[in-house]
Amino acid sequence: MAKAPKKVPFGRLDELGVLVDVAEAGSLTAAAKRLSVPKSTVGRSIRRIEEDLGVSLVRRMARGPALTEPGRVLADLAAPHIAALRDVTSALGRSSSEAYGLLRVTMPADIAGYVVAPLLAGFLARHPCVRLEIAHGLRVVDLVREGFDLAIRASWPKPMPSSSLIAKRLGTLSMGLYAGATYAAQRELPKNLDELLDHGVVLFYPGEHNTFPYIGPKGRVELKIPGRVSGDDFFFTRGAIVAGVGIGMLPWFMASPELAAGRIVRVLPDHAPVAAQIYVVYPPAKPVPPKVTAFCSYMAEHAPRLITEPMR
C-alpha cells in the first residue's frame, strides 16, 4: 500500500512563502535582501520544510545554492496560494474602497497589445496595490469557472449576446479596408464595393462571417465576400495585407501605424465596415471588488482615444 504523501504543517506557511521568495528572487541571498532578514534565517526556513517533507529543496553548488527540481515544483505550486494569502492579510486595515490584489483579465491579443498594454503604466501608478495577470486569446472564457475577474470583449458584427455578466461599454472600435503598398502599386484599387469582389480579399473570420455589413454614402450595405484567404486573428490579417496578399479589414489601432509607415493604404474610405463595440464584462457581485471597478473606470477613461479613429 502506497504511503500517503507528507503534508506541510500549517505553521510552515511562512516557510513556504520564503521558498517562493527564493524561487522568484533567484537565490537565498537575494531572497534575504527582499525579506530584509539574514541569509541564515532563509536557510533555516528551507531546512524546516525539507525535514517535514523528507526531500531536498536546495542543492549546494560551487556558485551558490540552487533549488532542486522538487524545490522548483513546490515553489511553483505554492506561489499563487502564497500570493492570495498575502493579498488577504494585506487587505486588513485597508480602506474598503482601495483597489488591491491580483486582477486576472482575459481579452483578444490585439486589444491586449494595442489598447491595454499602453495604458498599464498609468493604471498601475494610480493603483499601486493591484497586480495584473493578462491572458489573451479569442476563446470566450467562463470567467467564474476559470477564475478570471473580468474580460474585454468585442461585439462584431452582431451585438453582445445577453448573459448574466455585467457589461460596460468602453467605446467604438473603428474599422476600415486596407491594401498593402505593394498590392496597390500592382493593381488599380476598387472604386466601389462591387469592384472589391474582383480583388483578392483577406477575410477576418471564415465561413458564415464573410457577409459583412458596411456603412457607405447611401447607408448600410450587406456584402458577401468570397475571399481566398481567411483567418481569425487581426495580427495574421495585418501581416497578409502588408505582404500584398489582398485587401482586408483592420481595426484603426492596428492600421494607423502601418499607414504612417507607408506599408498600407486606405481602400474605399467612404465605405467602412460597421464598427465593433468594445465592452468590459465581469460577474455580478455585491459589492464589486474595488480592483474591478478601478480597472473598468480607467479603461473607460482612456481606451476610447486608442480604438476610435479621429474624425477626418
Q: Quick one: pLDDT at residue 157?
A: 62
Q: Identify the CATH number of the domain defined by range 10-89.
A: 1.10.10.10
* pLDDT band per the 50, 70, 90 thresholds, residue 215: confident
Q: Are 35 and 44 in contact (CB under 8 A)?
A: no
Residues 6+ apart with CB under 8 A from 109: 136, 137, 138, 233, 235
Task: Say how far residue 162 (Cα) sits from the centre of its chain.
Answer: 23
Could you report the per-residue pLDDT of 136-145, keeping only the tens digit for each? 887 888 888 8
* Three cell numbers written together for 243: 505582404
118-164 pLDDT, tens digit each: 999 999 999 998 999 999 887 888 888 888 999 999 887 666 777 78
Question: Any idea which fold 175-273 has?
Answer: D-Maltodextrin-Binding Protein; domain 2 (3.40.190)
Tell me how long the chain is. Answer: 312
* Whether pLDDT at 184 is above 90: yes
Of residues 116 and 75, more confidently modeled:
116
Instruction: Note the pLDDT of residue 14.
Output: 76
Give yes or no on whether 10-89 and 101-163+284-302 have one common fold. Answer: no
For residue range 67-86, list pLDDT tens digits in order: 888 888 888 888 887 777 76
Report pLDDT digits (tens) over 267-293.
Answer: 998 887 777 889 999 999 888 899 999
Output the pLDDT for position 105: 96
Residue 254: name the closest of 112, 106, 107 by CA. 112
Question: Which amino acid is it at 62?
Answer: A
Q: What's phi and psi for 139, nearest 5 deg? A: -65, 135
The predicted model gives 78-99 an average pLDDT of: 68
- Determine the distance from the C-alpha atom of residue 175 to the mean position of all C-alpha atoms in its chain, rounded to a whole number: 21
Rounded to an integer, what distance in angstroms lies between the CA atom of residue 171 and that of residue 208? 26
* The Cα angle at residue 245 between residues 239 and 246, in degrees rounded to 5: 105
Query: CATH second-level architecture of 101-163+284-302?
Result: 3-Layer(aba) Sandwich (3.40)
